[in-house]
Structure 1
Amino acid sequence: MKTASQAGLTKAQNLEVVKGFIQEAIDEKFKLIMVRPEMVALANEMVSAANSKVAVGTVIDFPKGNGLLDEKLKEAVIAIKNGADDLDYVVDYEAFKRGETDVVKKQVLEGTRLGLSHNKVVKWIIEVAALNDHEIVQLTALIKNVVIANFKEEQYAQVFVKSSTGFFEAKKGLPNGATVPKVKLMIENAFPLSVKAAGGVRTYEEALEMISLGVKRIGTSSAKAIVSGQKSESDY
């Protein structure tokens, strides 16, 4: 999910890296490939050409989530037009920490409504490394309660609470992705919504542990290594 500049690559080099990840998802028959919004059309072209069932997901207001609601929705509309199957919004967790819960509730309501109205899977990234345990509980419950209050029960399966972007700069030595204690808090407070553990899952054993907790999706750049029983050196 890095841009060319973040990865220290030229745009052409980065494009080849992205193509490689998309092809890997197709070859390994993964559930989903996550790409940046500007790569959604490319991913769809490759998936379609391969007659693959791999879904294409993208991130919205990534990675800080502090854009205005209109900006979030405009970005999501473009992603939908380009063929995205999953919309992973970064919730404005800093607004939540400031006590601006009405702002966050509006984001969750309108972002989810847009996605579900187009039959997309919607995920809300809460950035657990930026939150204390109480905030994780409260923000997860807020998302759940907005969905329960405004959408039909049969739509709940299309909405997830997701742990991390992988881009948050945690304090030295601390994880910036999913951990067992934080994911447990999410699962306990998200039901009937599902949880996606993203970031920090790099081995087969770690993936099994997350699955045993009850997560329905795992977000990782180490998928091939995990299914091969190897340990990845990836930072996500």
Structure 2
Amino acid sequence: MNINQYLDSTYLKTAEQAGISEEETKEKVVELVNEAIENEFKLAMIRPKFVAMAREMVKAANSSTLVGTVIGFHEGTYETEEKLKEAQKAIEDDVDELDYVVNYTAFKEEKINLVKAEVFKGTKLALDNNKVAKWIIEIAALTNDEIIALTQLIRDVVIDNFGEENADKVFVKSSTGFYKTEGGKPNGATFEAMELIVEHAKPLPAKAAGGVRNYEDAVKMVELGVTRIGTSSAKVISEGGTAKGGY
């Protein structure tokens, strides 16, 4: 299997989170984008401030690698209008895909109308501008029942408002990779959770993010029905190795 076309190669740490300078962070993003281009990974996933730079790099290389960014990252609790403003700026910078963090905290507090409105507005902005939207539900913060319910909510908002003809442009995505779990529990995609997402998102596609660290697990995710894999270890996975850590 050519796993490269399933991989969203990812670097999302801020300079502060990584304990490095802003210039070193930029260098890491440049390295990631170049690596994505060279290996023909599906997408390079970076912070919004680097979208314009990444687009220029992809254009200069005449590459088909897509440029993606995260919105409302990583907590998801930003006001909807703030998320839309952030997404609009990324669109102006010529992003291809917008990975929104859904307000899963509001969902857990049963503020369902708020979540539905956010999913509607964020998806509409993406589709109106011919972009792909992905909704990160942060599975480590949810029970299995909540994973199912939030996945179904996103599916229903998309299908009811934008039709099945647009289903392939809106993903349900597992994780940010930044959620703090207790007791060593995984904070990224698990096979169990991705089975639930794949089943209940249909006909929307599913993205497994975080926790996929070798080729075998990546293939297993694809066999489960996942069509994208977000990882900071794309090159290691593509070469058949196993990453020791990371997203």
TM-score by length of 1: 0.99
Picking from 141, 152, 158, the partner of 1:130 is 141
- Equivalent residue, structure 1, for 2:5: none
Matched, 1:108 2:115: no
Which whole-Å CA distance do the structure 1 matches of 2:244 and 2:56 have between them?
29
Q: Within 5 Å, which residues of 2 pair with 1:65-80?
A: 65-80=76-91
Picking from 2, 14, 33, the partner of 1:22 is 33
1:173 partner SS:
coil
**Residue 40 of structure 1: how far off its partner (Å):** 0.2
Which whole-Å CA distance do the structure 2 matches of 1:114 and 1:13 have between them?
33
Picking from 190, 193, 200, the partner of 2:204 is 193
Q: Which stretches in structure 2 are left out of the alignment for 5+ residues?
A: 1-11
CA deviation profile, 1:193-231 (whole Å, cap 9, x unmatched): 000000000000110110110001011111110110111
Matched, 1:168 2:215: no
**Residue 152 of structure 1: how far off its partner (Å):** 2.5
2:26 partner SS:
helix
Which whole-Å CA distance do the structure 2 matches of 1:151 and 1:19 have between them?
36
2:13 partner SS:
coil
Which whole-Å CA distance do the structure 2 matches of 1:125 and 1:3 have between them?
19
- Equivalent residue, structure 2, for 1:208: 219
Which whole-Å CA distance do the structure 1 matches of 2:141 and 2:97 have between them?
24
- Equivalent residue, structure 2, for 1:231: 242
Does the aligned pair in 2 maintain the 1:221–1:234 contact within 8 Å? no
Q: Within 5 Å, which residues of 2 pair with 1:26-45?
A: 26-45=37-56
**Residue 123 of structure 1: how far off its partner (Å):** 0.3
1:106 partner SS:
helix
**Residue 154 of structure 1: how far off its partner (Å):** 1.5
- RMSD of Structure 2 on Structure 1 (CA): 0.6
- Equivalent residue, structure 1, for 2:157: 146
**Residue 172 of structure 1: how far off its partner (Å):** 2.3
Amino-acid identity (%) = 54
2:214 maps to amino acid: T
**Residue 153 of structure 1: how far off its partner (Å):** 2.0
Q: How many residues align?
A: 236
- Equivalent residue, structure 2, for 1:220: 231
2:67 partner SS:
strand
Which whole-Å CA distance do the structure 1 matches of 2:246 and 2:21 have between them?
20
Which whole-Å CA distance do the structure 1 matches of 2:85 and 2:230 have between them?
25
Q: Which stretches in structure 1 are left out of the alignment for 5+ residues?
A: none
TM-score by length of 2: 0.94
1:169 partner SS:
coil
Which whole-Å CA distance do the structure 2 matches of 1:223 and 1:53 have between them?
17
1:177 maps to amino acid: G
Which whole-Å CA distance do the structure 2 matches of 1:6 and 1:48 have between them?
29
More contact order relative to length (CA 8 Å, sep ≥ 6):
2
